[in-house]
Structure formats: C-alpha cells, structure tokens
C-alpha cells in the first residue's frame, strides 16, 4: 500500500509542476485533463501527508515517554493514547481512498421508479418514493427534473423517470437500485388487512453522447398525440415521442412536454443512459465476484428494503439495518441509510483487496 502511496504522491507533485508550465497552459485540453487528475489525487496526498505527520508525532512522543522526567513521560504517554488511534483511522481512510474508483461516481443519474406487484397500492407508493427522493435531493442541493411520468387514475403512477443533477449524485444513490417492498393497510381495505406491494428502482448513470454510440439509422422515431386527463391538459398536436432502438428492442416514450423537440431530447437522454447501464451490467457479469462492491448499479432482482408502516419500521436487508423512524425516512431523511450502505460496500471492496477485517 505504501509503495502505491509514494507513487501517487510523486505523480501528484509531477502534475503540479507541469500545470505551472506555460506550454501546458497553452493547450486547454491537456491542461484540463491534468487538472482533473490533480484534483482526483489531492485527497489521497493530503491524507497521506497527515498520516506521515502522525507517524512523526508518535515517534517523538515514544521517545519522550522514556524520559527520566516522570511528568514529561506521563504527558507523552497520554498523547500517544490520542495519536495511535488517529494513525489507525488515517490508515483505514487511505485504504479506502486507494480502492479502484467507479468511473460513474461523478455522474448525474437517470432515476426510474416503477410499480411492481400490488396494483393500485404499488402505484401509490411509486409517488411516495418519488417524493422521498425529491426531498432528499433538495436537502443535498441537487436539481431534479422529471423526464417521464405515467399516472394511474387513482393518484398513483405506473412509472416516474427523473434526472438528478449535482455533485457525485451516482456515488450516493447507486445502491438505491432494487426492489423496495411496502407493507401497510391500503386506504381501500375495509377489513384492515396488511397488504404487501413492491416498487422497483433503477439508478442509471447519466450517459453523455461520448459515452455511448447509437447509430441513428437503427432508431425508429414515432410521434403521436399525447394523452391526458382531459380539458386543457390534452395536447392537440403530435408532440409525444416514442423512440425504438431496433436491434435491442429498447423503447422510450416521452409525452410530458408540449414541445416535440423537448420530448425527443428527454427520450434520447433516457435511451443513452439505459445503453450505458447495459454496458456496466455486461462488465459486471465478467467480474461477478466484484459486482456487489465495485460496480455499483445494484441488483434489481433482489428485495433490498422493506417499509413496514404498521410498525413504523424500515429495514435494509443488505446491511441488516433497521430503523423505527419511517415517518422521517419518508420525508427524505435517508442519510443514515446511505452512509451505512457506502461503509458496507467499502468494507466489501477492502475484503476483495485482501485488506478488510
């Protein structure tokens, strides 16, 4: 590990020197790439500098602890009680910082919420999960834009697709993908029986045009008149767009905007992200053992979380976390869950590297 840290530190200062070279500054693309690499290494280098500083302080205090002056020796031993745990924590931080980076962590996300088993009750929970993530995003300072909605007649949604933009959104939300199970008494249940419904969540790293190549010749684009609840909400022009990628059979429909062009742009954004997600999934199959800890798209086939309303309980089944704060969770206060998942998958990754406990 320390050989790698020495190499990272050397590279960091090499880049720092090159960034001061007027010749590099005159080449914007090279300067931008070096600046990004420099920024990516900075946290590791600063933590390694802190680690070496703690080592030096420990060595100094160990020498002082052997002094004949009892008071000085006692003070040094007390200082060591503080410094040694700090050094161990710094070492763990460095191990995490050296883990291979998920190349999608810095990306925005296309976030898809769909009703699963449970009919109208599942559709209602789609809307509630959407509001949960909307509130969480607001608290993070992220921007959320609705790309596509498919409402039901009872106030629920068969599907909601949104884009979430902000700093390292995918790194925080990637573990939310999977089957979310809700247990509660539906408003329509006269006998008070608890029903179980499911909602699926997919978290796709937003794909730029440079990330995936889609041949326009392989697309079929259909336009049609969007539906609605009637009255003024019904569009009288053919603004809805359906894009079909013929080789894969992927289909995306957008009809929320009154502009055909805006609907087409949103549909292409969703299509590109689904293509990128497929590529990530293919890579994951090649490295099955590392999938859970390194890829970060979530396993959509498994039940990841249960929301039990009668007991006010939330359980994340992957990390064994249970919270009796369901009302707060539904208000978007999911920081403890997110942090628990990040820590769990970091430890899994450390075990893959032979560094975990």
The token pair at 41 is 């290494």
What percent of the chain lies above the pLDDT cut of 70? 85
Mean pLDDT of the chain: 82
pLDDT for the residue 43:
87
The fold for domain 2-97 equals Methane Monooxygenase Hydroxylase; Chain G, domain 1 (1.20.58)
Instruction: Tell me the sheet residues that pair with 181.
Output: 198, 306
The model's pTM: 0.66
pLDDT for the residue 290:
34
Extended beta strands in the chain, E state: 109-115, 143-151, 157-165, 178-184, 195-205, 219-224, 240-245, 250-254, 303-308, 313-316, 321-323
- Residue 323, SS3 per DSSP: strand
User: For the chain, what are the domain ranges?
Assistant: 2-97, 109-349
pLDDT for the residue 97:
83
pLDDT for the residue 282:
64
> Which of 269, 277, 265, 93 shows the shortest CA–CA distance to 170?
277
50 within 8 A of 9, measured Cβ to Cβ: no
Q: How far apart are CA 98 and CA 7, in angstroms?
A: 12
200 within 8 A of 176, measured Cβ to Cβ: no
Residues of the chain with pLDDT under 70: 188-190, 208-213, 226-238, 279-302, 353-357
Q: What is the pLDDT of residues 59-81, one digit of tens each?
A: 999 999 999 889 999 999 999 99
The fold for domain 109-349 equals Alpha-Beta Plaits (3.30.70)
CA atoms within 13 A on the CB side of 331: 5
Q: Do domains 2-97 and 109-349 have the same CATH topology?
A: no
pLDDT for the residue 208:
64
Burial readout 295-314 (b: 16 or more C-beta within 10 A, e: otherwise): bbbbeeeeebbbbbeeeebb
pLDDT for the residue 298:
33
pLDDT for the residue 233:
45
């Amino acid at each position: 590990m320390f050989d790698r840290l020495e190499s990272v530190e050397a590279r960091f200062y090499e880049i720092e020197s090159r960034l001061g070279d007027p010749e590099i500054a005159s080449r914007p693309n090279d300067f931008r790439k070096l600046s990004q690499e420099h920024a990516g290494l900075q946290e590791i280098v600063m933590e390694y500098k802190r680690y070496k500083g703690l080592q030096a302080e420990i060595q100094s205090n160990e020498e002082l602890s052997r002094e004949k002056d009892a008071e000085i020796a006692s003070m040094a031993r007390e200082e060591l009680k503080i410094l040694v745990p700090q050094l161990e924590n710094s070492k763990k931080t460095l191990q995490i910082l050296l883990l291979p980076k998920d190349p999608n962590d810095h990306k925005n996300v296309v976030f898809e919420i769909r009703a699963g088993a449970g009919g109208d009750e599942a559709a209602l929970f789609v809307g509630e999960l959407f509001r949960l993530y909307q509130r969480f995003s607001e608290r993070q300072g992220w921007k959320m834009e609705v790309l596509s909605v498919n409402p039901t007649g009872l106030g629920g949604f068969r599907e909601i697709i949104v884009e979430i933009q902000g700093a390292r959104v995918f790194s925080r939300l990637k573990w939310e993908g999977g089957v979310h199970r809700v247990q509660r008494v539906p408003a329509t249940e006269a006998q008070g029986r608890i029903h179980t419904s499911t909602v699926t969540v997919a978290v796709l790293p937003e794909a730029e045009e440079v990330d995936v190549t889609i041949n326009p010749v392989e697309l079929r684009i259909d336009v049609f008149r969007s539906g609605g609840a009637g009255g003024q909400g019904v569009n009288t022009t053919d603004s809805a767009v359906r894009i079909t990628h013929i080789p894969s059979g992927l289909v995306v429909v957008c009809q929320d905007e009154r502009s055909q062009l805006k609907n087409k742009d949103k549909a292409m954004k969703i299509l590109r992200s689904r293509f990128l997600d497929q590529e990530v999934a293919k890579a994951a199959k090649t490295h099955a053992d590392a999938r859970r800890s390194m890829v970060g798209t979530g396993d959509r086939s498994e039940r990841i979380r249960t929301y039990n309303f009668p007991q006010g309980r939330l359980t994340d089944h992957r990390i064994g976390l249970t919270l009796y704060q369901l009302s707060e969770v539904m208000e978007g206060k999911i920081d403890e869950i997110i942090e628990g998942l990040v820590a769990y998958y970091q430890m899994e990754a450390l075990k893959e590297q032979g560094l975990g406990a």
